[in-house]
């Protein structure tokens, strides 16, 4: 089964867990790994830390939803999906704003991150709108 179909067929709890783990991975990559290799990325450390902080908040929210939400899950799934899309818009805005500082590796990382986050957000919106848990 293709990954895309797996995500679309996933239970809401599974989507919250995938989102939480992805956000946690992003927080670690942004706040620890990319900070150490900032000169190869081009994004200033202070912005990397702020993006990592946001990703950490998203991870906490999604872990909470995974552990606690049983009813009314579509609204909670919509919230994280919309937040992920806004995060992606912010990230791409920063990449374009800081284009003079960005490196090829930095562009690749952030474009890949946005593709993954937006793909997951669209699957979350699809699931929330289908209301099939």
pLDDT tens for 11-66 read 889 999 999 999 999 999 999 999 999 999 999 999 999 999 999 999 999 999 99
pTM for the full model?
0.91
> CA torsion, points 118, 122, 124, 126, in degrees to nearest 10?
180
Cα separation of 92 and 23, whole Å? 17
Q: Of 95, 31, 35, give the one whose Cα is nearest residue 59.
A: 31
Q: Of 43, 57, 107, 128, give the one whose Cα is nearest residue 86.
A: 57
What Rg value do the Cα atoms of the chain yield, rounded? 15
Cβ pair 58, 87 in contact under 8 A: yes
Cα separation of 88 and 59, whole Å? 15
| pLDDT digits 0-9 by tens, 80-125 | 999 999 999 999 999 999 999 999 999 999 999 999 999 999 999 9
Cα separation of 63 and 75, whole Å? 15
Q: Which residues contact 35 (CB under 8 A, 6 or more apart)?
A: 45, 48, 49
């Amino acid at each position: 089964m293709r990954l895309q179909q797996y995500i679309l067929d996933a239970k809401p709890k599974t989507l919250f867990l995938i989102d939480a783990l992805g956000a946690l991975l992003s927080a670690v990559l942004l706040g620890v790994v990319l900070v150490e290799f900032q000169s190869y990325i081009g994004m200033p450390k202070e912005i990397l830390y702020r993006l990592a902080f946001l990703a950490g908040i998203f991870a906490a929210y999604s872990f909470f939803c995974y552990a606690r939400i049983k009813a009314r899950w579509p609204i909670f799934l919509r919230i994280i999906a919309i937040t992920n899309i806004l995060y992606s818009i912010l990230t791409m805005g920063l990449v374009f704003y800081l284009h003079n500082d960005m490196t090829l590796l930095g562009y690749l990382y952030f474009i890949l991150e946005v593709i993954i986050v937006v793909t997951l957000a669209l699957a979350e919106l699809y699931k929330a709108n289908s209301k099939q848990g």
